[in-house]
Amino acid sequence: MSEPLVAGTRGIVRPRDGFRHFDLTFHAPDPPLDRFIDRSWVVRWDLSAPFDQDVVTHPAVNLVFENGQATGVGVKRDKFTRHLEGSGRVLGVKFRPGGFRPFMNAQVRTVTDRTLPIEDIFGHAGTRLAAEVGAEGDNESQIRLIHRFFSRLAPSGATVGETLSSAVELIASDPTLGRVDDLAQRLDTSVRQLQRLFAEHVGINPKWIIQRCRVRRVGEAALGNDPQWAELALELGYSDQTHLTREFTSTFGSPPARYAQACADDVSR
């Protein structure tokens, strides 16, 4: 199994405050499953008081294993909040955008904004997997079981999802890619075809992904020193700073300047 990855913020709202309340580690998959699975993640906490953690999610399906049970979590369009109290541990498997479609008998859009018991997706085999994972006591053994399960189901040939995963990586890496028309041109396809493929294989439309990647960049910038919001708005393709502020506030729940101040205050706490 690959070495654990270094944990980043990965859409965690006010990450410095969050990491005072829980530990997060990532584990990379080995080939060939890395075509479908982005990473596994493990969260542990031991708290004297309850804590709510907000997450601005990525366009990906997750399988979440906890206390011998498992759920499939579709793409969440809104900010997601996880309530933590007492002590506990959760193991998750995050699929690449488009990476979960080969394992479903339905389009990925059917699970968007939904959380389903694993048996609703994989039947009795999913129930057995959840029980087997829950019976293991360490991360590596649990992740190995999950990888073995999906290795038996994974197609050997190239998939449409891999192309779409690359498209999402392109969106995430290129802040100038701000329109679906531009993305369709880069991929040499039509906007309508692109939207259809994203709905089936990723579960969300490409415009939403462009907006989500852009607003997460603003969130990362807020962790730095003295962000220049007007310059950032121009760099990321917003029409003006007001547009940036409106989109960020609707996603993160507070204006960027106030969020940046809260993140700065977290450093000194």
Considering the entire predicted model, what is its pTM? 0.94
Distance CA 63, CA 74 (A): 9
Q: How confident is the model at residue 175 (pLDDT cuts 50, 70, 90)?
A: confident
Other CB atoms within 10 A of residue 126 CB: 20
CATH 1.10.10.60 domain range(s) in the chain: 160-268
Architecture, CATH, for domain 160-268: Orthogonal Bundle (1.10)
Asked if CATH classification 2.40.128 holds for the domain at 4-153, the reply, yes or no, is no
For residue 39, the Cα-to-chain-centroid distance in whole angstroms is 10
Q: Where in the chain is the domain with CATH 2.60.120?
A: 4-153
Model confidence at 135: pLDDT above 90: yes
Greater pLDDT, 10 or 47: 47
Residue among 255, 217, 212, 260 at smallest CA distance from 236: 217
- Distance from C-alpha of 184 to C-alpha of 154, rounded to nearest angstrom: 28
One-letter amino acid of 182 = D
Q: What is the pLDDT of residue 8?
A: 60
